[in-house]
Amino acid sequence: MPHDADVEKVVIVGSGPAGWTAAIYAARANLRPLVFAGRPKSSPTTILPGGQLMMTTEVENYPGFPHGVTGPKLMAYFEQQAVRFGTRIVTDNGLEPDVSNADDGHSYSYQDCARVDFSRRPFVVSSEDGTEFRAHSVIIATGATANWIGLPNEQRLARMGGGVSACAVCDGALPVFRDKVLAVVGGGDSAVEEATYLTKFASKVCMIHRRDQLRASKIMAQRAMSNPKIEILWNQVVVDVLGENMITGIRLKDTISGAESDLPVGGLFAAIGHTPATAFLEGQLELDAKKYIKLRDPYRSTTSVEGVFAAGDCVDSVYRQAITAAGMGCKAALDAERWLADKGIE
Amino acid sequence: MPHDADVEKVVIVGSGPAGWTAAIYAARANLRPLVFAGRPKSSPTTILPGGQLMMTTEVENYPGFPHGVTGPKLMAYFEQQAVRFGTRIVTDNGLEPDVSNADDGHSYSYQDCARVDFSRRPFVVSSEDGTEFRAHSVIIATGATANWIGLPNEQRLARMGGGVSACAVCDGALPVFRDKVLAVVGGGDSAVEEATYLTKFASKVCMIHRRDQLRASKIMAQRAMSNPKIEILWNQVVVDVLGENMITGIRLKDTISGAESDLPVGGLFAAIGHTPATAFLEGQLELDAKKYIKLRDPYRSTTSVEGVFAAGDCVDSVYRQAITAAGMGCKAALDAERWLADKGIE
C-alpha cells in the first residue's frame, strides 16, 4: 500500500535524543522530515518513543538544565522543537505533529517502522500497518536498550527512580547513592568500568557475577580485584530486588549450592550489556559483531549504504549519553542535507 | 610560580559548549575539574568566555529549548550546571565558581590559559598571571572563531542580531531572512555550501567574491553557478555594511575598476573560514594544515599526546554546532575519566 505523496527527502527512524535532534536540524534545513517515533510495547525492553530517557526520572547531566529535568519532559521538549520547525510524525491517524500531551509524556499513537528496503532507490520505509513511504535519504536513530536481569521489582524500581539503574555514568552521582553499598550485576569490561566509576561515590561496590571468573579482559579484571572498595561475589545470581519505593537489598542465589541469601544494598546497577535496535536492518546495512551499525567514517554519520545515515546509541557502544546521541543526530541531519544537495535533490 | 595544591586530575581549557559539558561530566565523576574560561579582549575575534554563542542572540537549534534561548543565557546555564557539581574556575582572585552574574552573562574576571607544557608529566598549564598548575590530564576545548570581514558595522550588527551572521546553518532559518535577498561573502567550498543552504529560505543569494573565479572545488563551483537562485558577483569586496539596527544593504567595491556600489540585502553571511584557537598548542599537540587539533581516533577525543583530550570547534571543521561540540565535550570527559582510572589515578 504505497503512500501517495512525493518521495520524502528525509525519513528518520527513532525518537530519542538522536532522532529528534536530527529532526530539528533537518526541519530547519526545510527538508520537512518524517519521523517514525516507535511504539511502546508491553515488554520493558522494547524501544520506547523518546528512547532510554523515558525509563529515567531526573536527568542531571544534559547540558543546559542546571537544576536537572526529567527524562520524559526533556524528550517532550525535543519533540516540540522538532515539530515547531515542520517535522511530521507517522501516527495511527496519518501524518501529524502530535504534541498535545507533550508535558505529560506522549500520546502513544505513533506508528513504528516495520521494514526498510535500501536495495531500491528511492528507499522504501514501511510502517507497521503496511504503508510504504519512499525516501531519498534515511536517518537511523533507533537506539539500544540496556539489558536487564528481567525481574518485575527491578523494572518497577527502575521506572520510579527507586535506586535501580542501567547506567552508572548517568545516575551514579545522584545523592541517593552517596556512601551506600552498591551492587553491580555483570562480569564484562563495562561492568568493571561501571563498578570502578561507582567507587567514587559508594562506601563499597559489590560485583555480582554468575561465574567463578570475570569475562572482562585481564587488565580490567585485575583492576576490579585490586580495588579495595570492590568486592566480587562469585557464582551468584540476583533472583529478587527488595524494597517498596526504594531498593533495600537484593536476594542472591548461589549457582553452585542453590542457597539463597539477602544482601542489603542502596542501589543496583545492571551492567550486562546493551542490545541495539537494529534487527530490522539485517541484510540492509552493515552491522558489527554486536549488531551496532558500522559507520563508514567514524567522525561522521555515513553508513555502508550511500544516503543512509545513523546516529545515537544504535552506533555507539562507548558513550551512550543523551548529549552524545544528540550531537550525532545533528551530524546525521547535516550529512543528509549536504548529500541531498550533492545529488541535486532540493 | 607553581600553584601549591595537589596535581589536578583534569584541567579544561575553554568555556564554550564543549568545555562546560566536559566540566559537567568530569565534575559528576568526582574529578573536581579546573576550568580556564578565557577572557574577552577588545578585538571581536578573540575567544570569548562562553565561546561563539556569546556572539549570537537567539539560538533555535540547541535541542531542549523549543522556544529558543539566547546564546549567553544558554552558556550561563551550562556554567551553573558545571559549578553545581564541583567545577572550579581560575579567576583573577584565585579558584572559585563565579556565577553571580550568570543570567546577564559573565562577570569577566576569569583567567585565560597562556601556555601549556605537555612534554612533562604531570603536564603544566599556566595562566596569564604566570601561575603554574600541574595536571594529570587536560581537555582542550578552545573553539574556533569565524573569520569576519572586519568592518565596524558588521560587528555591531552581528552582536545585536541585526542580520549579520557567520553561520548559515545556525541562523539561515530565522524568519528575518525569509524571502530576502541575502549576501554570502567568500569563494571556497563552505561559501558555496552556505549559499546553497540559504537558497532554501532566500528569494536570491548573492555570492560576493574578490576574485574572478571561485576557490571552491570544481563540483562545488558548478553547483553554485548552475543554481538559479545564486548570483555570483565577481571581483567585489564589501567595504561597508549599511543599516542602523537591521542590515539594509552592503557597499561593494570593484577590485578592478575601484568603483563603489550599494547592494540592498536583507542579510549578510561571512563564509571566509574559521581560525581554531590553537596557537598556544604549536609544538605541543599535532595540528592539521589548518591548525585544527588532530584526533588519534576520530570517534573519540584522544590526541597525539596520551592524557590530552580535545573537543569542540578546535577539532571540528565540519559541523561546528553547539550540540556537536557539547557531545564531544562529554566524550572528552569520559575518555579522560577512563584514562585516569587506567593509570590508577583516582
Does residue B208 surpass a pLDDT of 70? yes
Contact criterion met (CB < 8 Å) for B193 and A338: yes
Does residue B25 surpass a pLDDT of 80? yes
Does residue B266 surpass a pLDDT of 50? yes
A229-237 mean pLDDT: 97
DSSP run (H or E) holding B158: helix B152-159
Residue B85 pLDDT: 93
The closest CB to that of A319, out of B30, B196, B334, belongs to: B334
ipTM of the modeled complex: 0.92
Kindly report, residue by residue over B81-133, the tens digit of the pLDDT: 999 999 999 987 776 655 544 444 445 578 889 999 999 999 999 998 889 99
B338 CB neighbours in chain A (<8 A) are 193
Contact criterion met (CB < 8 Å) for A173 and B200: no
B319 CB neighbours in chain A (<8 A) are 330-331, 334
A80-88 mean pLDDT: 94
Distance between CA B158 and CA A319 in Å, rounded? 36
DSSP run (H or E) holding A158: helix A152-159
Residue B261 pLDDT: 97
Is the torsion defined by CA of A281, A285, A291, A293 positive or negative? negative
Confidence of residue A44 (pLDDT cuts 50, 70, 90): very low
Confidence of residue A55 (pLDDT cuts 50, 70, 90): confident
The closest CB to that of B20, out of A63, A85, A331, belongs to: A63
Confidence of residue B267 (pLDDT cuts 50, 70, 90): very high
Query: How many CB pairs below 8 Å do chains A and B form together?
Result: 151
Residue B128 pLDDT: 86
- Looking at domain B8-145+274-342, its CATH architecture is 3-Layer(bba) Sandwich (3.50)
Best of A15, A61, A218 to substitute, by most chain B Cβ atoms within 10 angstroms, is A61
Residue B99 pLDDT: 54
Q: Are strands A132-140 and B88-91 parallel, antiparallel or unpaired?
A: unpaired
CA dihedral of A86, A90, A95, A100, whole degrees rounded to 10: -70
The CA-to-CA distance between both ends of chain A, in Å, stands at: 26
Looking at B167, B313, B316, B335, which residue is catalytic?
Answer: B167
The closest CB to that of B64, out of A74, A330, A338, belongs to: A74
Instruction: Name the packing angle between helices B322-342 and A189-198 (round to 10°).
Output: 90
Percent of chain A with pLDDT over 90: 78
Residue B306 pLDDT: 98
CATH 3.50.50.60, chain B: domain bounds: 8-145+274-342, 148-270
B259-287 mean pLDDT: 96
Query: How far B222 CA lies from chain A's nearest CA (Å)?
Result: 11
B199 CB neighbours in chain A (<8 A) are 346
Contact status of B25 with chain A (Cβ, < 8 Å) = yes
DSSP run (H or E) holding A327: helix A322-342
Looking at B170, B206, B313, B335, which residue is catalytic?
Answer: B170
Contact status of A173 with chain B (Cβ, < 8 Å) = yes
DSSP run (H or E) holding A83: helix A71-84
Does residue A281 surpass a pLDDT of 80? yes
Q: Which B residues in the span 88-147 are in contact with A, Cβ-Cβ below 8 Å?
A: none
* Catalytic positions of A, written as ranges: 167, 170-171
Residue B45 pLDDT: 37
B223-233 mean pLDDT: 94
Q: Does the annotation mark B167 as catalytic?
A: yes
Q: What is the side-by-side strand order in the sheet with B230-233?
A: B164-165, B267-270, B181-185, B204-208, B230-233
Q: Which B residues in the span 26-55 are in contact with A, Cβ-Cβ below 8 Å?
A: 28-30
Does residue A166 surpass a pLDDT of 70? yes
Could you give the count of Cα atoms lying within 13 Å of A75 in the half-sphere of its Cβ? Answer: 28
Beta-ladder partners of A61:
none
Confidence of residue B48 (pLDDT cuts 50, 70, 90): low
CATH assignment, A148-270: 3.50.50.60
Does residue B3 surpass a pLDDT of 80? no
CA distances from A197 to A58, A167, A273, B212, B308 (A): 19, 10, 16, 59, 20
Q: Dump strand ranges (E) for chain B.
A: 8-13, 34-36, 58-59, 69-70, 88-91, 94-95, 113-117, 123-127, 132-140, 144-146, 164-165, 181-185, 204-208, 230-233, 236-242, 249-254, 260-264, 267-270, 274-276, 308-310
Contact criterion met (CB < 8 Å) for B193 and A341: yes
Beta-ladder partners of B124:
B117, B134
| Complete DSSP assignment for A228-251 | TTEEEETTEEEEEEE-SSS--EEE
Confidence of residue B57 (pLDDT cuts 50, 70, 90): confident
Which of the two residues, B110 and A144, has the higher pLDDT score? A144
Confidence of residue A129 (pLDDT cuts 50, 70, 90): confident
Which of the two residues, A52 and A257, has the higher pLDDT score? A257
The closest CB to that of B61, out of A24, A200, A318, belongs to: A24
Query: How far A200 CA lies from chain B's nearest CA (Å)?
Result: 7
Confidence of residue A41 (pLDDT cuts 50, 70, 90): low
